[in-house]
Each structure stands twice: as C-alpha cells, then as structure tokens.
Amino acid sequence: MSSEQQALLPVDGRVVMISGANRGMGLEIARRLHGDGYAVSLGARNADALADAVAEFDDDRVLKCSYDAKNPKDAETWVAQTVARFGRLDALVNNAGILHMHGLDEYDEARLDEVLDVNLKAPYRLTVAALPHLRKCGTGRIVSINSRSGLMYRPGSADYNISKHANMALTSAPRYEFWEDGVRTTAICPGPTATDMAGQDLARDEELTHPGTIAAIVAMVLTLPNSASVPLIPVCCDLDAM
Ligand SMILES: NC(=O)c1ccc[n+]([C@@H]2O[C@H](COP(=O)([O-])OP(=O)(O)OC[C@H]3O[C@@H](n4cnc5c(N)ncnc54)[C@H](OP(=O)(O)O)[C@@H]3O)[C@@H](O)[C@H]2O)c1
C-alpha cells in the first residue's frame, strides 16, 4: 500500500467548473471552492448577476463565462474558454437546475423538454466536453447536484423527478467508462435546501439544509483520492425514509 495513494488531493493549481454559479447552491459552492484556493470557472446565463455575486473574488483565480444550459453550443465553448485560461481542468460541478411544480395529469411537452434540457441534456453535454481534460489529469472529478427526487419519487413534479433519476445514470456513467483514467463521480442528493428553488415547493416549517453545507460536502468530495470513490451522498434536513 502506497501512502501517496491515500493522501488527500491538493487544492492549489486545480481548476473547477461550476454551472449556475450566480446564486443559490452554485454561488455557495463557488465561494467555498474559491475560498479554499481552487481556480474556479463560473458559468451563468446572467453575466451581470454573476459579476455582482463574485465581485470580491481574486481575479487571478476566477473566470466568468456566459453559459445558458439551453444553448447546446455553450458547453464546448465554456470548457474551451476554461482550458485556454487555466491550461487544465480538474473537476466539473453540474449544479444548474430548474423545478416546475405540476400535477401528473398536467402533461406539458414544452415544460418537460425545458426540464430535461436544463437538468439532463445540458450536464450531459458539459460532461462529454469536459471528459478529455478530466481523463488527462488522472484525478478528474464530476460532482452532480442531484436531489433526493433522483433517488425516490417525490410527489408534485414528475418532470423534475424523471430528469433527476436520469441524471443519476448520467453521473455514474463516466465513473464506469473511465475509472482506469482516474475519473470519479459523486451524486449529491439534497432534500429541501434554503435557496430560491425551495421557495417554489410546499410551505415548510422545518429547518432546511443550508446551501453552504452542500458546498462543504462538495469541497470534501473534491479532496478525496482515487482510492476513496464516493458515488452517492444523500443529505436530509428531516427524518426521511431515504
Ligand atoms: N433547493 C433545493 O431544495 C434543492 C434540493 C435538491 C436539489 N436541488 C438542486 O440543486 C441545484 C441548484 O439549485 P438551487 O437550489 O441553488 O436553485 P436556485 O437558487 O433556483 O438556482 C438555480 C441555478 O441554476 C441556474 N439555471 C437555471 N436555468 C439555467 C439555464 N438555462 N442556464 C444556466 N443556468 C441556469 C440559475 O440561473 P439563473 O439565475 O439565471 O436562473 C441558478 O444559478 C439544482 O440542480 C437543483 O435541482 C435543489
């Protein structure tokens, strides 16, 4: 057993892409990883909101990119911009997502397409664009901010549940396909978390998970060596059958 294999991965010099970094969990993850010393490449569709949100970041270790999950070309462009700026890519955090509450009998093709576009097809495109670089570095990481709706059915939004269940398969795929290249993937599956999105769901009395806590979990996952693969992390703020 080599002690080198067991060591935590360094932070300095490693480059992480985070989608939907302008607010909610994405912004908390960006703050945490930047604070820890990573170089962060931040994708958001609202450039002004992103610039305001990360105004205090160290310019040497931040790249702000225009990224709209609904635009198929944006994934390749953003990855290329990241590698052009920093010369490498070590990790991808697929965070951007949307939720529409609806009854199962309220089928709407356009709404379903939008949810699948943002929650499934967009992270798929980012994953494929990032993988050559993640494989090259030997310790590539993909972290998906999935949901407990990706693990068990939660009534109120079939579209969202379907997208997050499919996202579980997407998150596992690179780990199985490129294990030998050192690629490791983790699906973090939060329950209700205190962001704008949780406000769309039912009125809640209980204490929600703080998005900074999810960011701390992402930070922990990114330091784990290849010999400590953690495929799944459910996170609950309540007593849950999960
Ligand atoms: N909050 C919860 O209770 C909870 C629980 C489990 C899982 N999650 C998951 O956590 C992730 C983050 O959600 P959140 O709670 O932070 O929600 P949020 O506060 O609503 O933030 C969503 C983020 O996704 C971005 N986004 C949405 N559509 C986009 C698009 N077309 N292109 C680029 N970015 C887009 C938003 O950007 P704009 O500002 O431009 O809209 C925003 O930055 C999501 O994947 C969500 O499914 C949330």
Q: Is residue 7 part of a domain?
A: no
Other CB atoms within 10 A of residue 12 CB:
9
Whether residue 167 is predicted with pLDDT greater than 70 in this model: the reply is: yes
Whether residue 21 is predicted with pLDDT greater than 70 in this model: the reply is: yes
Where do we find the tokens 């955090």?
93
Q: Is residue 144 part of a domain?
A: yes
Q: Is 96 in the pocket of ligand 1 (CB under 6 A)?
A: yes
How far lies 48's CA from each of 22, 40, 53, 66, in Å? 9, 17, 9, 10
Q: Is 45 in the pocket of ligand 1 (CB under 6 A)?
A: yes
Where do we find the tokens 């199985």?
176
Other CB atoms within 10 A of residue 10 CB:
11
Q: Is 171 in the pocket of ligand 1 (CB under 6 A)?
A: no
Q: Is 160 a catalytic residue?
A: yes
Q: Is 144 in the pocket of ligand 1 (CB under 6 A)?
A: no
Whether residue 137 is predicted with pLDDT greater than 70 in this model: the reply is: yes
Q: Is residue 93 part of a domain?
A: yes
Encode pLDDT of 82-136 as tens digits: 999 999 999 999 999 999 999 999 999 999 999 999 999 999 999 999 999 999 9
Q: Is 210 in the pocket of ligand 1 (CB under 6 A)?
A: no
Q: Is residue 119 part of a domain?
A: yes
CA–CA dist 232, 171 (Å, integer): 10
Q: Is residue 241 part of a domain?
A: no
CATH number for 72? 3.40.50.720
Q: Is residue 240 part of a domain?
A: no
CA of 96 to the centre of ligand 1 (A): 4
pLDDT at 205 (0 to 100): 56
Q: Is residue 2 part of a domain?
A: no
pLDDT band at 202 (very low <50, low <70, confident <90, very high): very low
* C-beta separation of 92 from 141 below 8 A: yes
Number of structural domains, the chain? Answer: 1
pLDDT at 241 (0 to 100): 66
Q: Is 157 in the pocket of ligand 1 (CB under 6 A)?
A: no
Q: Domain range spanning residue 25?
A: 12-235
Q: Is residue 226 part of a domain?
A: yes
CA of 159 to the centre of ligand 1 (A): 15
Q: Which ligand 1 atom is the nearest neighbour of the CA of 209?
A: 3
Encode pLDDT of 151-166 as tens digits: 999 999 999 999 999 9
Q: How would you label 85-107 residue by residue, b for 16+ Cβ within 10 Å and e otherwise?
A: ebeebbbbbbbbbbbeebeeeee
Q: Which ligand 1 atom is the nearest neighbour of the CA of 20?
A: 43
CA of 127 to the centre of ligand 1 (A): 18
Active-site residue, selected from the candidate residues 107, 124, 153, 160? 160
User: In DSSP terms, which residues pair with 66 in a beta bridge?
Assistant: 44
CA of 46 to the centre of ligand 1 (A): 13
